[in-house]
Chain A
């Protein structure tokens, strides 16, 4: 499933449309510490977090993540969105909790491989 399809299915609000929207999502990573995301998130993961500091954009670039979905209704500030757009990084926002988002993403990706 591509990031675009996943975002549409789970009705995420689009804050930044990145360059990898039509690439397949490999899996997911949950966590709010940037250093831990750098060390543990894998290429192609969608990153579920409430962390919205501008540095998340760099982490997505460096770790080659699919994109970010901000949980609990958290939204990226305008400056962060601008930076994400410049960097081609996708940023979404959802009212769901990180727990619910992880469950929904996991279910959607699992259903696809069955």
Chain B
């Protein structure tokens, strides 16, 4: 068993709201500088950038989980994590079919570009990613679990897009061992989940600004679940590493 310092909510240049400087190298470099052992990239409604960031993370000895940040039809943001590339991409394909076919307008929403290992733009996503899927929250959680993944509601206390701000309370009976919040504690309505923190970074300076320490056997979805329940001496705790000012975007 060992402790992983994890930042499991990072956007790449593919997310329209993220800075173009969020390349695989920039993300992994920032994580390495800040002592992060485990990262996940979580672009809005897509997993297209996961493989290239996974390769860069492997080169730098940083563990990686394959992630997406779904936006459900209630405009709730929901993180999904997978251990490997094939299930992540199969899941991504399944939800892309539920994404409205509305073109992105880069001038209004931002660029949606994917890059390769050499940081060359290889794809421009035509469909607006920051849009709501034709998929309700409960079904989204079930789809993630059924695909072998882990569903974690993102910034549950944030207005808008947080589970609690959008829906008011947590629908009962869902598989949500972990929940991310902006605040120091989870809202009372999330009492069945354990609090995790990540950066939700959209530019390199913010990577690792807030982290979760997981003491567990391996960087996997199954171990995250066990850490949430405290099984076998596994633990998790949250830590703020950078002040909001230090993590803020450098003005150029």
Contact = CB atoms under 8 A, between A and B. Distances in A.
A58 B75 contact: no
Contact of A39 (B71, B100, B108, B161): B100
B108 A33 contact: no
Nearest to B159: A53
B251 interface: no
B13 to A, nearest CB: 18
Q: Is the contact region of chain A dominated by helix, strand, or loop, or is it mixed?
A: helix
B109 A58 contact: yes
B105 interface: yes
Interface string B95-136: 000001010010111000000000000000000001110000
Interface of B: 71, 73-75, 100, 102, 105, 107-109, 130-132, 159-161
B132 A33 contact: yes
A55 B131 contact: no
A87 B107 CA distance: 10
Contacts of A34: 75, 132, 160
A111 interface: no
Nearest to B105: A62
A51 B160 contact: yes
B168 to A, nearest CB: 13
Contacts of B71: 35
B106 to A, nearest CB: 11
Given A51-B160, A53-B160, A55-B130, A35 B105 contact: no
Contacts of B132: 33-36
Interface string A19-53: 00000000000001111101100000000000101
A51 B160 CA distance: 8
B131 A38 contact: yes
A37 B22 CA distance: 29
A68 to B, nearest CB: 14
A61 interface: yes
B131 A35 contact: yes
Contacts of A61: 105, 107-108
Nearest to B166: A33
Contacts of B105: 58, 61-62
A9 B105 CA distance: 34
A36 B132 CA distance: 8
Given A33-B132, A35-B132, A36-B132, 16 more contacts: A33-B75, A34-B132, A34-B160, A35-B75, A39-B102, A51-B160, A53-B160, A55-B109, A57-B108, A58-B105, A58-B108, A58-B109, A61-B105, A61-B107, A62-B105, A62-B109
